[in-house]
DNA sequence: CTAAATGCAAAACGTTTGCATATAG
DNA sequence: CTATATGCAAACGTTTTGCATTTAG
């Protein structure tokens, strides 16, 4: 934890950005909710619990900055809100998501399943892949068994 | 073309929706721009050329309806706008996209590249896949050669 | 004839911006 | 000390909504 903050601090300084208390507090919230997919508002409310002075605009600015630094990924699941997802340490690519259309739960998949597909894209379409977004929509394990019960 | 409109008409009627002139005009615009990724505003302006009385709200309502019927897919490439993409006839899954981070161009890929990956998801994560979204971010053929030239 | 759909304007929503003030480095 | 960052409120662009009116079936 302190480790990763230290690292982010260096990334910031290397581009003459400052690690302000607000930014640190924001990063801490993201680290504490690594599994979640928080909206800017969510982050704002959580940061506010410990640092009540922070403004929503600062949270937006911080999230955008972290996005540039590839510390977080900005995603959109189709509701009108952007969500921010911390990248795993050293992860080259964005991870995948399983979105349940019944209950709305979102599960993360770390494995990179697209190695072969990317090779195909690069050779067949001559497109140099930098990153990807992959989301499956379907029915999660829990909701599948719930549907069984209904019958 | 008339074919597909007829089909959509039946889909609408089967759920006691009406095929109004505005809806038909909207569908026609989508059919004429199958390769594009139009925003609601884009669609509105195009429909307006032929049916000037239409209102923006109607276009939004129509696009949402078509989305429910799985006639179009709503996508979001990260700019703050939703875009609407007609499904190919009989396509079970949403097609894929190659977004160029240099020039912003978007290319569609019809092939379903995810067959194996979906099988893996279903067996290993016990998640029943209904649909997917796959977008690659990278550098398109044209921008690659442009970068060569710069050197 | 009536439930469903429309157009319009107003409202709501998430997000961004301008600016005077504060502060990390 | 100064460039960078902040909080606030106002502005922004997209999308949704309420409502009186029209219309497809």
pLDDT at A149 exceeding the cut of 90: no
Same domain, B46 and B36: yes
Choose, out of A75, A98, A138, A139, the residue to mutate when testing the contact with B (most B CBs < 10 Å).
Answer: A138
In this prediction, residues A101-115 reach a mean pLDDT of: 90
Residue A41 tokens, joined: 């508002």
Confidence class for position A12, pLDDT limits 50, 70, 90: very high
| Residue B107 belongs to domain with CATH number | 3.30.1490.190
More confidently predicted of B32 and A150:
B32
Same domain, B62 and B116: no
User: Which residues of chain B make contact with A139, given a CB cutoff of 8 A?
Assistant: 127-128, 130
Mean pLDDT taken over chain B = 93
Q: Does the beta carbon of B135 lie under 8 angstroms from any beta carbon of chain A?
A: yes
Same domain, B7 and B67: yes
More confidently predicted of A2 and A8:
A8
Residue A22 tokens, joined: 């607000």
Q: Which helix (H) or strand (E) holds B23?
A: helix B21-32
Rounded alpha-carbon distances, angstroms, from residue A63 to A38, A44, A67: 11, 10, 6
pLDDT score recorded for residue A7: 96
Q: Measure the CA dihedral B62/B63/B69/B72, to 10°.
A: 150
Would the CB atoms of B120 and A113 count as touching at under 8 Å? yes
Task: Give dist(CA A150, CA B13) in Å, integer.
Answer: 29
Same domain, A98 and A50: no
Same domain, B50 and B16: yes
Q: Is the CB of A22 under 7 A from strand D?
A: yes
In this prediction, residues A12-27 reach a mean pLDDT of: 98
User: Which residues of chain A make contact with B119, given a CB cutoff of 8 A?
Assistant: none
pLDDT at A142 exceeding the cut of 70: yes
Q: How far is CA B96 from the centre of its chain?
A: 10
Task: Specify which residues A108 forms β-bridges with.
Answer: A97
A119 CA: distance to closest CA in chain B (Å): 11
How many other CB atoms sit within 10 Å of the CB of residue A68? 11
Domain range holding A61?
1-90
pLDDT score recorded for residue B98: 95
> Long-range contacts of range B54-60, CB-CB < 8 Å, 24 or more positions apart?
B54/B22, B54/B25, B54/B26, B58/B22, B58/B26, B59/B26
Same domain, B46 and B116: no
Handedness of CA B17, B20, B23, B24 (dihedral sign): positive
Please spell the DSSP secondary structure of A71-138, one letter per residue: SEEEEE-SSS-EEEEEPPTT--SPPEEEEETTT--EEEE-S---HHHHHHHHHHS--EEEEEEEEEEE
Q: Does the beta carbon of A113 lie under 8 angstroms from any beta carbon of chain B?
A: yes
Same domain, A146 and A102: yes
pLDDT score recorded for residue B112: 86
B50 CA: distance to closest CA in chain A (Å): 30
User: Which residues of chain B make contact with A74, given a CB cutoff of 8 A?
Assistant: 78
More confidently predicted of B150 and B10:
B10
| Residue A48 belongs to domain with CATH number | 1.10.10.10
Q: How many CA atoms lie within 13 A of B135 on its CB side?
A: 17
Same domain, B63 and B80: yes
Q: What is the number of domains present in chain B?
A: 2
pLDDT score recorded for residue A89: 80
pLDDT score recorded for residue A26: 98
Task: Give dist(CA A139, CA A147) in Å, integer.
Answer: 10
Task: Give dist(CA A30, CA A86) in Å, integer.
Answer: 7
Same domain, B44 and B63: yes
* Tally of helices (H runs) and strands (E runs) in chain A: 6, 6
Please return the burial class of A43, using the count of CB atoms within 10 Å of its CB with bins 0-12, 13-18 and 19+. Answer: buried
Same domain, B148 and B134: yes
Task: Give dist(CA A95, CA B143) in Å, integer.
Answer: 26
pLDDT at A146 exceeding the cut of 90: no
Note whether B115 and B75 are within 8 A (CB): no
Same domain, B36 and B85: yes
Tokens 């019944």, located at residue? A102
Task: Give the closest residue to A137 by CA, choosing from B65, B91, B121, B96.
Answer: B121
pLDDT at B151 exceeding the cut of 80: no
pLDDT at A25 exceeding the cut of 60: yes
pLDDT score recorded for residue B3: 92
Look at residues A50, A65, A90 and tell me which one is the last residue of a structural domain.
A90
Same domain, B83 and B98: no
B52 CA: distance to closest CA in chain A (Å): 29
In this prediction, residues A132-140 reach a mean pLDDT of: 94
pLDDT score recorded for residue B92: 78
Look at residues A47, A65, A90 and tell me which one is the last residue of a structural domain.
A90
pLDDT score recorded for residue B149: 75
For A118, the closest chain B residue by CA position comes to B136
Per-residue pLDDT of B56-106, as tens digits, reads 999 999 999 999 999 999 999 988 999 999 998 877 788 999 999 888 889
Per-residue pLDDT of A53-104, as tens digits, reads 999 999 999 999 999 999 999 999 988 999 999 998 877 788 999 999 988 8
Its pTM surpasses 0.75: yes
pLDDT score recorded for residue B28: 98
């Amino acid at each position: 934890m302190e480790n990763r903050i230290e690292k982010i601090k260096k990334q910031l300084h290397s581009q003459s950005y400052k690690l302000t208390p607000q930014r640190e507090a924001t990063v801490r919230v993201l680290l504490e909710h690594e599994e979640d997919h928080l909206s800017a508002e969510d982050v704002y409310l959580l940061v506010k619990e410990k640092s009540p002075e922070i403004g929503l605009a600062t949270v937006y600015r911080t999230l955008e900055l972290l996005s540039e630094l590839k510390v977080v990924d900005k995603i959109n699941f189709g509701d009108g809100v952007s969500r921010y997802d911390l990248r795993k340490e050293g992860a080259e690519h964005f991870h995948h998501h399983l979105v349940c259309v019944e209950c709305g739960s979102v599960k993360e998949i770390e494995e990179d399943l697209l190695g072969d597909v990317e090779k195909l894209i690069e050779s067949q379409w001559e497109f140099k892949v930098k990153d990807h977004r992959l989301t499956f929509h379907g029915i999660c394990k829990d909701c599948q068994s719930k549907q069984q019960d209904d019958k």
